[in-house]
Amino acid sequence: MTKSAAQTPQEHTSTGTLSAGAPFQYADGAEVILHTIFQRDDFDEQRTWMEYNWWPLSYHLSPARANIVSWLPADRDGLHVLEVGAGCGAITSYLCRVPAVGRVVAVEGAPQRAELLRLRCRHAPHLEVVTANIEDYHPPEPFDAILLIGVLEYAGRYIARPDAASHLINLLCRWLRPDGRLVIAIENPIGHKYLAGYREDHYGVPFESVSGYPDYNGIRTFDKGLLQSKLEDAGLHCQLWFYPFPDYKMPDVILAENSFSEPGFDWLTLLNLPTVDYSLRQRPLFNEREFLRMIARNAPPSAFMNSFLVIASRQPMPKEWESILAVKIRSQCAPPFRQTKFFLKEDDRITVETTRGEWLNRPAPIHLHSDYREPYYQHLKNIEHLFIDSLWHRRYAEAASALLRWYATLLARVVPEGYHDYNERFRAFCVQRLGRAPYTPTTQWLPPDSLDLTPRNCLLNEKGGEVTVIDLEWDVGIPLPLDLVVDRGMLYLVQKVSDFFGTDLLNRRGEWNLPRALLSRLPAQLRKGKVADIHLFEYWFQLAILHGGFDYRLSEQDRRAASTNTGLSRRSWFARLLRRLGDASRSPGVIGASLRRLRKITGV
């Protein structure tokens, strides 16, 4: 039976060719599998993404793709939106669910991808999919918003003109309403990750963009100054600049321009550094936190952020948008556990507004949709970051002191009585869900809301020594063993140490892999944890968040996966050796060349 026009997206097709006559094609290898996925009757934008961990599929399916635009408060209803280079529909499918959007036009030049887009969004009657090169498209009416998400850098591939990017911006400006907005998301060629040696995304070569694209093949990104001038030349003088992290593809933090200059606002704490490498092949050549901190002391760090999100218009933007300092988004979990957290400058104070569930571009003002409001604690230091910074500079006494402040905070919350009943309740809870009962029996217990009492959620007043606890979001409904919360906090902390230093989680003694000069200052409960137990519990917890409830039960396969050996692997030992010889690998001669070859082979 043929579906009615009211049930399917409208279609429009043109030749989809370059001005020079060459057909425009783009693919990343996931299209065939995506076609099978989108055909499924049980395909669900909210849950199907959980089934796949291959990067190309995650890139197309993850709800985090929409984070780049989902947080913006809508200032009107019935928005008429154009998305240029819509690809396989990661952003388009989100736009089709936004209540404030009345009509969506998605232009895609690759026919195979346009067909996938139609298949994916087949139940969206207010969507029109156009298969065409953008120069061949002629809209019948102007738009309230035009989106270029990860597309402007490809302008030289599908527009045969000397300055293809400027031509595209000017072309799209003609299609905007007088108060319409052009929304551009693009990588920064001199972002701190590229300066730190990460491979340029489009070329797969380190320092390609930093060197001005010597291997230019029609694809290039633009630094802030150049992109800003292109927008101004097109008449878009009103611009709001934001900085998605780790990049625009799957951001979990959006920083506003004014976040860098706001007194007492620690924007650097929001960034989960070092920058994630999606290929999992490399680490940065330097400490990005220290680099950004040094830059901020001398100039605005915005020019060196990894990605840009620019909203440009001929007319001023809503005041509500200008009050946003930062946004933190949690979307890669089950819908009930998703949240959007706004850091807002209101009058002379900073407030934090948290909204549970999907934001879906709700209308301003933001506080009307807030489930929880709290003050922003200025001038307090995040204990995890304080620990990492002290460790980096080998100030082990300071690192130990910060960790002991967190430990004292845990001990102060220990429940004084009732542990016999708690043992039975926790045992029953874990046996039912995890298959066994870790951490029992024990005599020290914490309240049910203490699971997230980790160093990263503790803020230290360095003058008075007081600790302020924030973001205790998770409550599994039962008291928790003190050992479990300690081990979870240490696991997160040592994983972060591993990210910065390239070390393993455990040393050869089975202790947390921290310097001996530091471990000797810590009590036994902080030096060595029950690693198998915390891995099992944390594995269950993360799957429970993904599946939407704490009644989730681990399968036998889950339990085997959770029991992965965390000891010192042969490859990680060799990796550490090569890193210690890093200076030698940069030296000339046969030895340096051999070490460089080994580092390339191992990805170290």
In terms of pLDDT, which residue wins out, 573 or 473?
473
Over 90: is that where the pLDDT of 522 sits? Answer: yes
Q: What does the pLDDT read at residue 11? A: 57
Average per-residue pLDDT for the chain: 89
Q: Strands across the sheet with 381-382, in order?
A: 381-382, 458-460, 467-469
| Alpha carbons 189 and 213: distance in angstroms, whole number | 9
Q: What is the dihedral of CA 65, 67, 72, 76, to 10 degrees?
A: 40
Q: Which 8-state DSSP code applies to residue 341? A: E
Q: In this structure, are residues 382 and 269 in contact, taking their beta carbons and an 8 Å threshold?
A: yes
In terms of pLDDT, which residue wins out, 576 or 538?
538
Stretch among 211-215, 257-261, 281-285, 304-308 having the lowest mean pLDDT: 281-285
Q: At 193, is the pLDDT very low, low, confident or very high (cuts 50, 70, 90)?
A: very high
Find the radius of gyration of the CA atoms of the chain: 26
Closest to 490 (Cα-Cα) out of 575, 560, 387, 414? 387
Phi, psi of 92 (to 5 degrees): -60, -45
Q: pLDDT exceeding 90 applies to what percent of the chain?
A: 77
Write a three-state SS string for 245-289.
ECCCCCCCEEEEHHHCCCCCCCHHHHCCCCCCCCCCCCCCCCCHH
Q: In this structure, are residues 88 and 102 in contact, taking their beta carbons and an 8 Å threshold?
A: no
pLDDT in tens, 415-461: 987 667 899 999 999 999 999 999 989 999 999 999 999 999 999 99
Q: What does the pLDDT read at residue 570? A: 35
Over 50: is that where the pLDDT of 23 sits? Answer: no
Q: pLDDT exceeding 70 applies to what percent of the chain?
A: 88
Residue with tokens 């429970």: 544
Say if residue 438 is preceded by a cis peptide, omega within 30 of 0: no
Q: In this structure, are residues 446 and 482 in contact, taking their beta carbons and an 8 Å threshold?
A: yes
Q: What does the pLDDT read at residue 562? A: 83
How many Cα atoms within 13 Å fall on the side-chain side of residue 164?
A: 20
Q: What does the pLDDT read at residue 364? A: 85
| Alpha carbons 164 and 307: distance in angstroms, whole number | 20
Q: At 10, is the pLDDT very low, low, confident or very high (cuts 50, 70, 90)?
A: low
| Alpha carbons 546 and 68: distance in angstroms, whole number | 21
| Alpha carbons 341 and 71: distance in angstroms, whole number | 9
Q: What does the pLDDT read at residue 555? A: 92
| Alpha carbons 111 and 88: distance in angstroms, whole number | 10
Q: What does the pLDDT read at residue 184? A: 98
Q: Kind and range of the H or E element at 36?
A: helix 31-39
Q: What does the pLDDT read at residue 419? A: 64
**291-324: b or e for each residue (b if 16 or more CB lie within 10 Å)?**
bbeebbeeeebbebbbbbbbbbbbeebeeebebb
Secondary structure (3-state) at 44: coil
| Alpha carbons 269 and 273: distance in angstroms, whole number | 9
Q: What does the pLDDT read at residue 25? A: 64
Q: Kind and range of the H or E element at 290?
A: helix 288-298
pLDDT in tens, 72-108: 999 999 999 999 999 999 999 999 999 999 999 999 9
Q: What does the pLDDT read at residue 564? A: 63
Q: What is the dihedral of CA 484, 488, 494, 499, to 10 degrees?
A: 160
Average pLDDT estimate for 57-74: 95
Average pLDDT estimate for 258-278: 94
| Alpha carbons 66 and 442: distance in angstroms, whole number | 44
Long-range pairs of 267-270 with CB within 8 A, sequence gap ≥ 24: 267/325, 267/326, 268/292, 268/293, 268/296, 268/385, 269/382, 269/385, 270/245, 270/326, 270/328
Q: What does the pLDDT read at residue 586? A: 42
Q: What does the pLDDT read at residue 541? A: 95
Q: Kind and range of the H or E element at 310?
A: strand 307-313
| Alpha carbons 121 and 11: distance in angstroms, whole number | 12
| β-bridge mates for residue 146, sequence order | 82, 182
Average pLDDT estimate for 467-477: 93
Long-range pairs of 461-464 with CB within 8 A, sequence gap ≥ 24: 461/379, 461/380, 461/381, 462/381
Q: What does the pLDDT read at residue 277? A: 85
Q: What does the pLDDT read at residue 20? A: 40
Average pLDDT estimate for 399-412: 97
pLDDT in tens, 317-355: 999 999 999 999 999 999 999 999 999 998 889 999 999
| β-bridge mates for residue 344, sequence order | 324, 351
Average pLDDT estimate for 237-255: 97
Over 50: is that where the pLDDT of 114 sits? Answer: yes
What's the distance, CA 505 to chain centroid? Answer: 23
In this structure, which amino acid lies at residue 488?
R
What's the distance, CA 563 to chain centroid? Answer: 27
In this structure, which amino acid lies at residue 264?
G
Kind of pairing, strands 324-330 and 349-356? unpaired
Cβ neighbours of 171 (radius 10 Å)? 16
Phi, psi of 549 (to 5 degrees): -175, 155
**Joined tokens for residue 306:** 């990894």
Average pLDDT estimate for 216-239: 97
Q: What is the dihedral of CA 64, 66, 72, 74, to 10 degrees?
A: -140
pLDDT in tens, 560-604: 888 764 443 333 434 444 444 443 444 444 554 554 555 444 444
| Alpha carbons 105 and 9: distance in angstroms, whole number | 10
DSSP states along 518-571: HHTTS-HHHH---HHHHHHHHHHHHHHHHHTSTT----HHHHHHHT---S--HH
Q: In this structure, are residues 57 and 33 in contact, taking their beta carbons and an 8 Å threshold?
A: yes
Q: At 9, is the pLDDT very low, low, confident or very high (cuts 50, 70, 90)?
A: low
In this structure, which amino acid lies at residue 185?
A
Secondary structure (3-state) at 259: helix
Q: What does the pLDDT read at residue 24? A: 55
Q: What does the pLDDT read at residue 594? A: 53
